[in-house]
Amino acid sequence: MLRAVATATTGLSHIDIEACRERNVKIVSLRGAHDLLDGITATSELALALMVALARSIIPAVQDVRKGVWNRDAFKGRQLNGQTLGIVGLGRLGRRMAAYGQTIGMTVVATDPSISNDQPFVKMLDLEELAQVSDVIALFASYEPGCGPILTREIISLMRDHALIVNTARGELVDELAIADAIKGGGLGGYGADVLSDEQNIADLENHPLIALSQTGYNVVITPHIGGATHDAMSRVETYIVDRLIAHLDATRPANQNRSTQKSL
């Protein structure tokens, strides 16, 4: 009999929560593990890397050099100092990204109706205003299954034509087709993502509209959900999850099973 499902994640969109609830199956996750997660910086660091990669055309520049080409004028980018970084979701990762932006000289604005801002250098705005003033928008919001995107086609239409979007949260938080259309039409400067909508069920990745753009010279960078995939981060969270799972199983083991186990020892 299944007693628990363990996942070394905070998001649970990949788990049928209702089915677990109906069957009294415990979900063991990283939710609420604040002391542990405060020291896990991998995802926010990747968001920073994606932002820099987009702003400076790093990926195509590297690919050009690998082909034996040396042409600096083909890859003039934008410096981030003096630009405005908009954070959507000012939780643990959003606050860290805000600090990164402030450190490199960006003006930082944010939107998050569920969190009070404790960073004096961050100005809180509503989503529409944030979209209009930001040179870069970074997404760190949570996603609940069944909810629509935060960055809709209408919100994307408000953004500056050179603006960049960075998404290391969930693909479902954005209208991916609207982003692809905006980039092709010159209404958006680029998109960097570590996630895609319904990414586990995409049958043909090469024909995904955003990946197709990245293959044809547009400023799109997609990584395969590697945000938390560092040796140190994964070791820490997996050890934590195993310890929690063992504690749950021990606490819920039938009394007679505990006694028989003790006798066998």
User: Please, which residues bridge with residue 222 across strands?
Assistant: 193
- 96, 172, 176, 199: the active-site residue: 199
The verdict on whether 244 is a catalytic residue reads no
Catalytic-residue membership of 3: no
Buried b or exposed e, range 191-221, using 16+ CB within 10 angstroms: bbbbbbbebeeeeeeeebebbebbeeebbbb
What 3-state class would DSSP assign to 55? helix
Q: State the greatest distance between any 2 C-alpha atoms of the chain, in Å, as a whole number.
A: 76
- Catalytic residue, candidates 56, 92, 160, 225: 225
Backbone phi and psi for residue 189, each to the nearest 5 degrees, phi listed first: -80, -25
Is 239 in a helix, a strand, or coil?
Answer: helix
259 is catalytic: no
Q: How many CA atoms lie within 13 A of 254 on its CB side?
A: 5
Which one of 96, 170, 172, 176 is the catalytic residue?
A: 170
Contact 152, 178 (CB under 8 A): yes
Tell me how long the chain is.
265
User: Which residues are marked as active site?
Assistant: 170, 199, 225
